[in-house]
Structure 1
């Protein structure tokens, strides 16, 4: 893999994670059996049923057949070269558990796969359900790139309508040599943690389908992985299958393939080749209290946290920072992407990204998107990137603090690159960007949004708005409503803000002390105050 960049926060996270220890395994009665694995003192000829008769290798684990309630526990402090494959299912009241026993650092498993290997994950849960994986350290490094993951849950032969009951908890996943594809999507299924449920087509053209239910991913550290930190995906999604509707595509509906019960919280995801997080297929569910940072440095661009083919999903209470994209597209903290109707993006803290808070890469059918009570500080590009077409988006009570941007935006990572947006928009950063001159299907549908009760504080003399004039030069129409907003600092003097000027109350050069709290609310400000002041914030990231 590419050497780790010299980033102080990432180095600190590695050291902190390495010091976490595993408590001795509980001895409460369980409905299944317990198997122990000891790299130094075990034997594959042993029974595995107690620590003194432990197995030695991951190969022995993979030979075994497990029953509901069984536990496979690896000795804390030990290291294995190999991988784990769980292809047996537990039950809701008796899951199969892969974990740790003893005192010391997490058991470490170093995977190694050929670049063309299929399902190349250090821990693979394959066509199985009701499985928990916890308290392990996983790597999957190599000299070449491939579709590798630290942990992968894969259903590629669906034999039942619902696969349920997954808990991924307290893992440290790092150094995964996934697939870096600068301009394509092929590498998005490689990285730290992945979930894939793919249907199969019968010879008569019909599809064998399924969906996931009850996915919980909590308290994990994922760092220095390619290409994506955490991803969910299915080949059953399609632009013809609009989330939340009764549309029929290839003989099935959204309800039959939508994933339910997705909860992803309290994780730390740092240093990913491209996107930090990709959420697909979820109906309801949430991504909350996570830290995502230092993304998209090894490709041209990519938004840090984005959704595709989801419905009513909530992204809240996350800190998303240092997106290092270096292109004229993407680079924001958040992205309601294609087919993200009725998603909610609230109470998030975005800072120091090479774009800003959010990029809208939506479809005309995307409606009811809410962007509310978020805080954005120090974005370098399009703070609000209103990009593709959509039916309805509401921006309400967001606080955006624009700071000066140097002539070269990326001195630490790409010193020779200057984003061409500076010339197109006449300055940097762009406080609001409305795409209107690009050609193509995504850039011709109308945009309709409301912008109410938001606050800007602009300290950048070069900042501008880039608004759709809605005239003969525009390839689309932007329907905007701006009202009851406030503005502090430098209003661009080039006329770029004239079309929305009536929607802002300009209140002088310096905001009052509590302008952020007055905008996003006292609760959200109190939550984020330690982060704003550069102090550790125990409310985001792993709780252990």
Structure 2
């Protein structure tokens, strides 16, 4: 999909919905007259999204990134969303590549891979105050200039068994507890042009999973349901979305 305004794929007033195997790119959301940039993500769980699963999606070159939520302004909402096995490549991160915007009953975010190599000042993860989110088994690989995290008070935020590699210092990385850091030896780096990133098959080229530590069950949180991974292989306990040795 290519989108000039709004989020590209939106769920709202739905229940038990599966969104999978989509590619979203070139969401061109830009600054409004009031100075704000609104709705520039590939995926959006919006109002009344109850039990929604986003998986095996490929996001690249979007104004924000892979995902944001706008579920509810109420802390008592019962909405539940899972974001797993998705790949983000060179999303611009004007807001968080993964962005917890509104309140939600429960948000599970695991085994996603974020790759950022030529974007300036991307916000890799953004979470507003008091947002409920479990963030684990995710992989971030970043060689971009001036990357950052924007994390609120983290009152309802759980993070563990994630791995980040960045050649540049990530602003506020110290606020994200239980973040392990090492070099995962990437197989490929993002192409220099948009054309080199278009196509679901291209997502499979951004395989970062070559480091044995990423496949050590002791370093991961076990998942009850174990489908295939992004590449169609049998799932293994691991960090990130693309599991190939």
The alignment's TM-score, normalised by the length of structure 2, stands at 0.71
Q: What corresponds to 1:396 in structure 2?
A: 110
| Matching of residue 497 in structure 1 with residue 193 in structure 2 | no
Q: Where does structure 1 lack aligned partners over 5 or more consecutive residues?
A: 1-291, 407-427, 437-445, 471-476, 528-544
**Does residue 354 in structure 1 map to residue 63 in structure 2?**
yes
Residue pair 2:10, 2:45 contacting (<8 A) in 1 also: yes
Q: Could you report, residue by residue, the CA deviation over 1:230-270 in whole angstroms, capped at 9, with x for unpaired residues? A: xxxxxxxxxxxxxxxxxxxxxxxxxxxxxxxxxxxxxxxxx
Question: Residue 384 of structure 1: which of 98, 116, 124 is its match?
Answer: 98
Alpha-carbon shift at residue 526 of structure 1 (Å) = 5.5
User: Residue 322 of structure 1: CA displacement?
Assistant: 1.1
Partner of 2:141: 457
Question: Where do 1:105-504 residues align within 5 Å?
Answer: 292=1, 294-296=2-4, 301-327=5-31, 328-363=37-72, 364=75, 365-381=77-93, 382-406=96-120, 428-436=121-129, 446-468=130-152, 470=153, 478-490=155-167, 492-494=169-171, 496-500=172-176, 502-504=177-179
- RMSD (Å), alpha carbons: 2.4
Q: How far apart are the structure 2 equivalents of 1:336 and 1:490?
A: 32
Contact 1:356 1:384 in 2 (8 A): yes
Query: What do residues 31-70 of structure 1 show as CA deviations (whole Å, max 9, x unaligned)?
Result: xxxxxxxxxxxxxxxxxxxxxxxxxxxxxxxxxxxxxxxx
2:144 and 2:227 mapped to 1: Cα distance?
25
Closer, same or farther: CA 526–516 of 1 in aligned 2, 3 Å? farther
**Higher strand fraction: Structure 1 or Structure 2?**
1
Indicate how the Cα distance of structure 1 residues 522 and 389 shifts in structure 2: closer, same or farther if over 3 A, else same: closer
Give the 3 Å change call, closer, same or farther, for CA 523–449 of structure 1 in structure 2.
closer
Are 2:200 and 1:525 aligned? no
Alignment partner, residue 185 of structure 2:
511
| Highest RCO, 1 vs 2 (Cα 8 Å, sep ≥ 6) | 2
Q: Distance in 1 between matches of 2:105 and 2:46?
A: 13
Shift of the alpha carbon at 1:345? 0.4
| Contact 1:392–1:447 (CA under 8 A) maintained in structure 2 | no
Secondary structure of the 1:524 match is coil
TM-score by length of 1: 0.33
Change (3 A) 1:386 1:404: same
Q: Which SS does the other structure have where 1:295 is aligned?
A: coil
Q: How many aligned positions are there?
A: 191
The Cα of 1:377 is off from its aligned counterpart by 0.4
- Contact 1:455 1:487 (C-alpha < 8 Å) held by counterparts: yes
SS at match of 1:326: coil
In structure 2, what is the Cα distance between the partners aligned to 1:458 and 1:350? 16
Which stretches in structure 2 are left out of the alignment for 5+ residues?
Answer: 32-36, 188-206, 216-225, 234-245
Note the C-alpha offset of 1:359: 0.7
> Does structure 1 conserve the Cα–Cα contact (< 8 Å) formed by 2:146 and 2:170?
no
